[in-house]
Structure 1
Amino acid sequence: MAQVLLAHLYEQASPQSLALILLLFLIAVHLAMPRSRAEKLLSKLPSPPFKLPIMGHLHLIGSLPHRSLCDLARNHGPDVMLLRLGTVPTLVVSSPRAAKAVLRTHDHHFASRPHSAVANILFNGSTDVAFAPYGDYWRQTRKVVTTHLLTSRKVRSNRAAREQEVRLVLARVRAAAAARMAVDLSEVFSFFANDIVCQAVVGRFPREEGRNKLFREMLETNAKLLGGFNLDDYFPSLARLNLVSAKAVKHKKRWDDLLDDLIDKHASKTANDEEEEDFIDVLLSVQQEYNLTRENIKAILMDMFEAGTDTTYIALDYAMAELMRKPQAMTKLQAEVRRCAAKGKEMVTEEDLSSMSYLKAVMKESMRLHAPGPLLIPHFSTADCDVEGYTIPSGTRVVLNVWAMGRDPTCWENAEDFMPERFLEEGMDAASDFQGNDFRFLPFGSGRRICPAINFTTATFEIILANLIYHFNWELPPGSTGINMTESFGMDVHRKENLLLMPCLAQDV
Structure 2
Amino acid sequence: MFITWLISTLIVRYFIKSLMKKDQVKLPPGPMALPIIGHLHHLGPIPHQAFHVLARKYGPVMQVRLGSMLSIVVSSADMAREFLKTHERAFTSRPQLKAVKSLTYGSAGFIFAPYGPYLKYMKRICMMELLGGRQLELFQSIRQQEIKHLLEYLFKKSQEGKDVDMGSELAILTNNIICSMTMSTSCPGAKDKADECRSLLKEGAELVGTFNLADFISFCKNMDLQGLEKRFKKVHERLDDMMERILKEHEEKKSNGGEPQDMVDILLRISKDEGAEMKLTRENIKAFVLDIFGAGTDTSATTMEWALAELVNNPNIFAMARDEIFSVVGRQRVVEESDLPNLPYLQAIVKETLRLYPVGPLILRESTQDCKVGGYDIPKGAHIFVNVWAIGRDPNSWEDPLKFKPERFIVESGGSNVDVKGQNFHFLPFGSGRRMCPGTSLALLVVQTALASLIQCFDFRVHNSSQDMGGNKVDMEEGRGMTLPRAHPLICSPVAHFNPFV
| TM-score, normalised relative to structure 2 | 0.91
Residues 158-307 of structure 1 correspond to what in structure 2 (within 5 A)? 158-204=139-185, 209-241=191-223, 244-270=228-254, 273-274=257-258, 276-288=260-272, 289=276, 290-307=278-295
Mapped contact 2:61–2:79 kept (Cα < 8 A): yes
Alpha-carbon offset, residue 105 of structure 1: 0.6
Match of 2:423 among 427, 431, 437: 437
After superposing the two structures, state which structure 1 stretch, 398-407 or 116-125, moved more: 116-125
SS at the partner of 1:448?
A: helix
Alpha-carbon offset, residue 448 of structure 1: 0.9
Q: Which residue of 1 aligns with 2:347?
A: 360
Distance 2:61 2:271 in 1: 42
Distance 1:283 1:274 in 2: 15
Alpha-carbon offset, residue 486 of structure 1: 1.8
Change (3 A) 1:63 1:428: farther
- Residues 92-148 of structure 1: per-residue CA shift (max 9 Å, x gap): 000011100111111111001123111111222332111112222222222223322
- Residues 223-281 of structure 1: per-residue CA shift (max 9 Å, x gap): 11222211122124532335553111110011011111001111222355445521111
Change (3 A) 1:507 1:151: closer
Question: Does 1:505 pair with 2:496?
Answer: yes
Distance 1:102 1:230 in 2: 27
After superposing the two structures, state which structure 1 stretch, 168-177 or 121-130, moved more: 121-130
Distance 1:135 1:236 in 2: 28
> Where do 4+ consecutive residues of structure 1 move more than 4 Å?
20-37, 39-43, 205-209
Change (3 A) 1:228 1:209: same
Q: Which residue of 2 aligns with 1:15?
A: none
Q: Which residue of 1 aligns with 2:483?
A: 492
Mapped contact 1:203–1:276 kept (Cα < 8 A): no
Change (3 A) 1:387 1:176: same
Change (3 A) 1:232 1:146: farther
Q: Which residue of 2 aligns with 1:343?
A: 331
Distance 2:8 2:108 in 1: 33
Residues 128-147 of structure 1 correspond to what in structure 2 (within 5 A)? 128-147=109-128
Q: Which residue of 2 aligns with 1:87?
A: 68
SS at the partner of 2:107?
A: coil
Change (3 A) 1:344 1:220: same
Query: Aligned letter for 1:330?
Result: F
Q: Which residue of 2 aligns with 1:100?
A: 81
Distance 1:21 1:156 in 2: 67
Distance 2:192 2:127 in 1: 29
Match of 2:103 among 109, 117, 122: 122
Distance 1:489 1:338 in 2: 37
- Residues 174-203 of structure 1: per-residue CA shift (max 9 Å, x gap): 111111222221111101111111111111
Mapped contact 1:115–1:233 kept (Cα < 8 A): no
- Residues 138-168 of structure 1: per-residue CA shift (max 9 Å, x gap): 2222222332221122222211101111111
Query: Aligned letter for 1:282?
Result: I
Query: Aligned letter for 2:342?
Result: S
Match of 1:314 among 280, 299, 302: 302
Amino-acid identity (%): 34
Mapped contact 2:154–2:494 kept (Cα < 8 A): yes
Q: Which residue of 2 aligns with 1:17?
A: none
| TM-score, normalised relative to structure 1 | 0.90
Count matched residues. 488
The RMSD of aligned alpha carbons is 2.4
Query: What are the ranges of 5 or more consecutive residues in structure 1 without an aligned counterpart?
Result: 10-19
Query: What are the ranges of 5 or more consecutive residues in structure 2 without an aligned counterpart?
Result: 467-471
Query: Aligned letter for 1:266?
Result: H
Question: Does 1:426 pair with 2:412?
Answer: yes
Residues 464-483 of structure 1 correspond to what in structure 2 (within 5 A)? 464-479=450-465, 481-483=472-474
- Residues 57-113 of structure 1: per-residue CA shift (max 9 Å, x gap): 110111111111001001112x20000110000000000111001111111110011
Change (3 A) 1:207 1:483: farther
Q: Which residue of 2 aligns with 1:380?
A: 366
Distance 1:128 1:296 in 2: 6
Alpha-carbon offset, residue 52 of structure 1: 0.9
SS at the partner of 2:384?
A: strand
Mapped contact 1:308–1:457 kept (Cα < 8 A): yes
After superposing the two structures, state which structure 1 stretch, 217-226 or 248-257, moved more: 217-226
After superposing the two structures, state which structure 1 stretch, 421-430 or 105-114, moved more: 421-430
Mapped contact 2:214–2:222 kept (Cα < 8 A): no
